[in-house]
Amino acid sequence: MAGRKHITFCVTPDGEEYMRGFIDHFGFGDGDVVEVSSVPHSEHPQEAPPGANPPQNPPEPQADPQDDPLPPPPPADQAGLAALIPQADGVAECPRCLCKPCVTTPEPLWLGQQPACEENAALRKVKYKTFWATMANMMPSPWYDDRYLRRKDQKLAEDIALEPAARRLVIAGGGTVREIMPKCVLKLVRGRFPNPRGKAYLGHKWV
């Protein structure tokens, strides 16, 4: 068995999300990553006494079936981990997600699938968030592509025209608190976690 190393990173909550998305995206095998834990950071950490048990992982939060807005990814020069997944050269760009190759190719090992059921709506949100983090980790990130930003502005204007309550997606400074999931991601995730027969999917694409 190969030797083990214990590596500690001190990151922001966004950085933790990016790190987990990176590990999930590349599908590390069993034993490659033994543990990813989250503990509060102290300015003056104290060494654990001999024989003390390491901190345990906190319980995973349950997926909320209601919309829960995500913050926009930080600028590339502030994200810290935003350059972990370089875009490939000499590969056709997906016109939907603007990634090279498409962010759904090859299908990530963490995606999984489940027969049609009511619980799939909540599970899809978890998968969308991981795709969101994966795309935020890319360099360059499609979330900052001018073509995507134009699509986003157009979609937001359309939503506000149809439903004034969509203004809740706008934050001070002209930004938005959500991104639009590309159609390639929607198609893949809905195909793996479908709704029960006769139940329509929500029309919004924001995550």
Q: What is the pLDDT of residues 18-39, one digit of tens each?
A: 566 666 655 555 555 556 565 5
| Residue found under tokens 């590596």 | 7
pLDDT at 132: 92
What confidence category does residue 186 fall into, taking pLDDT thresholds of 50, 70 and 90? very high
118, two tokens = 């009511």
Interaxial angle between packed helices 120-136 and 183-192, expressed in degrees from 0 to 180 and rounded to the nearest 10:
140
Give the predicted TM-score (pTM) of the model.
Answer: 0.57
Q: With a cut of 50, say whether residue 81 has pLDDT above it.
A: no
Say whether pLDDT at 106 is over 50. yes
User: Residue 25's beta-bridge partner residues?
Assistant: none
Residue with tokens 């978890």: 126
Which pLDDT does position 155 carry in this prediction?
85
Q: Supply the pLDDT for residue 101.
A: 93
**Mean of all residue pLDDT scores within the chain:** 73
Tokens of 117: 């059921």
User: Residue 2: left (phi > 0), alpha (psi -120 to 50), or beta?
Assistant: beta
Cβ-proximal residues to 31 (8 Å cutoff; 6+ apart), any chain: none
Query: What is the reported pLDDT for 202?
Result: 75
**3-state SS, residue 129:** helix
Where does residue 132 fall: left (phi above 0), alpha (psi -120 to 50 degrees), or beta otherwise?
alpha
Asked if the model's pLDDT at residue 56 lies above 60, the reply is no
195 closest CA partner among 107, 72, 65? 65
Q: How confident is the model at residue 117 (pLDDT cuts 50, 70, 90)?
A: very high
Q: Which of 137, 129, 139 is nearest to 178 (CA)?
A: 129
Residue range 55-66: mean pLDDT, rounded: 43
Amino acid at 141: S
**pLDDT band for position 163 (50/70/90)?**
confident
Length of the chain: 207
pLDDT, position 79: 40
162 against 199, higher pLDDT: 199
What pLDDT was estimated at residue 90? Answer: 87
Q: pLDDT grade, residue 71 (50/70/90)?
A: very low
Task: Residue 141: name the closest of 204, 97, 95, 91 by CA.
Answer: 97
On the question of pLDDT at 161 being above 70, the answer is yes
pLDDT of residue 70 exceeding 60: no
Q: Which helix (H) or strand (E) holds 86?
A: strand 85-86
Rounded distance between C-alpha atoms, residue 83 and residue 103, angstroms: 15
Q: In a 10 Å sphere around its CB, with 0-12 CB exposed, 13-18 middle and 19+ buried, how is residue 185 labelled?
A: buried
Report the share of the chain in percent with pLDDT over 70.
Answer: 50
pLDDT band at residue 96 using 50, 70 and 90 as cut-offs: very high
DSSP state for residue 176 in the 8-state scheme: B
